[in-house]
Structure 1
Amino acid sequence: MRSIETGEPGHSADQVTVRRTNLALVLRHLRAEGPRSRATVAAELGLTRSAVSQLVAELAERGLVREGRREHGSVGRPGTTVELAGHGIAGLGAELNVNHVNTIALDLAGEVLSERQVALDARTAPAEEVVERLVELVERTVADLARRDVQPVGLTVGVAGLVDEDGVLTHGPNLGWRDVPVGPMLRERLRPAYDVRVDNEGNLAALAEATPGDPDRRDVLVIFGEVGVGGGIVADGRLLRGRQGYAGEFGHMIVEPQGRRCGCGRVGCWETVAGLRALLDQAADPDDPVRDPSLSLDQRLTEINRRADLGDTRTLAALDQVGRWVGVGAAVLANALNPAAIVLSGYFAAVGHHMRSAIETALVDGVLAPGAGGTRVELSTLGFTASVRGGAQAALETVFADPARVERRPLARGALR
């Protein structure tokens, strides 16, 4: 990373800008590299030790960092590490999907401060009613934070479909929505003191999976499956959105031209053969309890796994068939982008251990480069929370970009300075 020295004390606009830039630099470095002593941070960023000490002290006054453990293995006297804290602030993430709305609040270090979910059928309810349910959930989450004296710094909402820069859901095939102003509706009802943004759920899931500081997660494709299939592309640690922000609509690649009609109106989209609906259609009859929409997705997938574990032939055949289709689509993407890993998220993560062999076989068969070009298949550990966690992380980016937006607080005796 390149740094800008703080220089002599002063009050010029340039010096203020430099200091804010370096505050952000140190905070992002601690996120990417983990706890570090001041001396180590100074060496890695090319700043003087005194400059780093001043910056760390200010970040501590804003409640964003704290003392960590002693740093061992370094030359000379070991120093005390500095690590992310941020318990006084939180990023809010939310998701509006076909079967549910949910929220989560994360502090700067990634700790979950609040998590809520409500099941619903968004396809049969008016859009205004669904958004109102989400508003109620956000308000309850903010109330959870208030009881802990935590201030929200932003809200990012993931939705299933195409979202423009104003937060309008231009097309949500599985929701059956077109041109629904989700962002404006949320801002009008919440009237928050923090920013409210809306993004595609697959993009947010990709942000959650692209772990800062992990070199194996700097070039990945995240494939997020629920009723539909979406995802995100992370290249060199950055989310690729495309010219107008619509990248990642993997589910609408045509893989079976003579296949089923998709919710988008076209025929043979990838999600018609790889989405959760395709799995349930093959694994169970229409009156099977596992297809009851009143059950949560977790309950339904737990039952699918239970049947597979017992060796139920129909369930295993359905998982194998859908797994092959997942691998076919993954191979198309791997040929185009050659990621280090394809991370399977959402429902794929829940049942992926039963699909993995079929997915990997189809991936190797479909990729021109030997050994699938080095692309490996991974199962997300975040499951259905990937999108909402990514939303909370996106909301926290405003703090990582400008820590000075968080007010200073009096430090307790013995606190980091």
Structure 2
Amino acid sequence: MSQVRDGWAATGSGGADQGTVRRANLSLLLRSLREDGPRSRARLASDLGLNKATVSSLVGELLERGLVREGSAERGAVGRPGTIVEIDGAGAYGLGAEINVHHVSTRAVDLAGVVVSERRTSIDTRGLEPAAVIDRLVELVEGTLADLAAFGATPVSAVVGVAGLVDHARGTVSVAANLGWQDVSLAAMLRSRLADPAYLLDVDNEANLAAVAEATPGDPERRDILVLHGEVGIGGGIVADGRPFPGRRGYAGEFGHMVVDRDGSRCGCGRTGCWETVIGLSRLIELAAASEDDLLRSPVLDLEGKVEEIARRAAAGDEPTLVALREIGRWVGVGAAILTNVLNPGMIVLSGYLGEIGEWIHDEVEAELAAGVLAPDAGGTRIGLSTLGFSAAVHGAATVAIDHVYDDPTLVPRADHALEVLS
């Protein structure tokens, strides 16, 4: 890992050009303000190991790009108090979107991570051709763009999450078993329908994005985690040392297709006994619904409605529901133990529907984890519950979208350049 100091970067290749170093320092400073809070220029210089002149120059450029603003005088300072520098949320916007089995959704956030627009449509994506689903998503994206236009803004980037294997280089959904998709050129289709937008547009796996949403910047408890994201299917995401780990080609995290029961049910991927066949929401409904006319099997209830009904029954002490939940929890723990033996994360976060039912399956998961992990005390791995519900993936998509600015603040033009473009 290179260290950036006073305009120079030490790298294995013998240095970097000035522009690259400048962008790295701008990123370093902007991320520091997000993770450690507003500070004076002097404090920033001390904390980052940069000299005061360099920090003043960097802050000046970030001010010109509208990414930071000056606040009140620093309290408790010795001598002449410095002016606080803080993130300016209105400096940039990111757009996240998601395609899942039962819905499409969008979310836009500002540079400070504040949500400025949210849209969602329930839709049975399995009953439609990919083009029809993409058209529905584009309707939401266009509505979100209109919301941003009300601020006089456009997104710096857009990130779309989808429940399937994604080829990042091509922007293609290679396989999405629960959607019935194969080799769908999602990025190209979106760009075409959005009239080839100027902003960046990326495609990623929804569970990877859910993992990003759980990896809170600056929180040491969330630096090494696995996220198990459950809806109709089961996906996963890996965060290592605070950063997403996509794998060699971006396919890491397909936890739901670990084979855990070779004598079990056939999975949507065509194989038998995948983990998602024993912990997916459809399996819980199968176990908990007393009869074919049970409300849980009714199309009247959407995905969230069914989970709310299960939670209501569990809270009321309904024994068939509690038995079904214990069975799901047992299988979640079996798979969690396998993952812990291989990866030893600090925490496994149950997300999506699994997070919503977490209080009723937690004990079974912990018991199986303790029994199945070779290391003492389950290797230090703990089970955590997401508080983001079914919005985890789109939340993560928006986070990744705005993170492009933190990676490279020069994506946002200086004020004088913006005025030249407008004129």
TM-score if structure 1 supplies the norm length? 0.93
Identical amino acids, percent of aligned pairs? 59
Deviations 1:5-42 (A, max 9, x none): 249xxxxx954443333212211222232323222211
Corresponding residue to 2:140 among 131, 137, 141: 137
**Does 2:382 match 1:381?**
no
Corresponding residue to 2:32 among 29, 32, 39: 29
Corresponding residue to 1:240 among 240, 245, 258: 245
Distance in 1 (CA, whole Å) between partners of 2:360 and 2:76 is 43
Residue 183 of structure 1 aligns with which residue? 187
Residue 170 of structure 1 aligns with which residue? 174
Distance in 1 (CA, whole Å) between partners of 2:325 and 2:175 is 29
| More moved, 363-372 vs 288-297 | 288-297
Residue 280 of structure 1 aligns with which residue? 285
Unaligned residue ranges in structure 1 (runs of 5+): 8-12, 411-417
Structure 1 residue 287, shift from structure 2 partner: 2.3
Distance 1:146 1:263, change over 3 A: same
Which consecutive segments of 4 or more residues in structure 1 shift more than 3 A? Answer: 13-18, 67-81
Preserved CA contact (<8 Å) 1:88 1:149? no
Preserved CA contact (<8 Å) 2:211 2:237? yes
Corresponding residue to 2:164 among 161, 166, 180: 161
Structure 1 residue 316, shift from structure 2 partner: 0.7
Distance 1:310 1:364, change over 3 A: same
Preserved CA contact (<8 Å) 1:3 1:45? no
SS at match of 2:119: strand
Corresponding residue to 1:39 among 42, 66, 85: 42
**5 Å matches for 1:82-97?**
82-97=85-100
Corresponding residue to 2:338 among 318, 329, 332: 332
* 1:262 partner amino acid: C
TM-score if structure 2 supplies the norm length? 0.91
| More moved, 88-97 vs 287-296 | 287-296
Residue 265 of structure 1 aligns with which residue? 270
Deviations 1:326-384 (A, max 9, x none): 11111100111111111111111111111111111111111111111111111111121
| More moved, 105-114 vs 40-49 | 40-49
Residue 420 of structure 2 aligns with which residue? none
Distance in 2 (CA, whole Å) between partners of 1:325 and 1:78 is 58
Distance in 1 (CA, whole Å) between partners of 2:34 and 2:122 is 34
**Does 2:323 match 1:317?**
yes
Q: Report how many residues are paired.
A: 405
Structure 1 residue 150, shift from structure 2 partner: 2.3
Structure 1 residue 90, shift from structure 2 partner: 1.0
| More moved, 292-301 vs 347-356 | 292-301
Distance in 2 (CA, whole Å) between partners of 1:300 and 1:118 is 17
Unaligned residue ranges in structure 2 (runs of 5+): 9-15, 417-423
Structure 1 residue 75, shift from structure 2 partner: 5.9
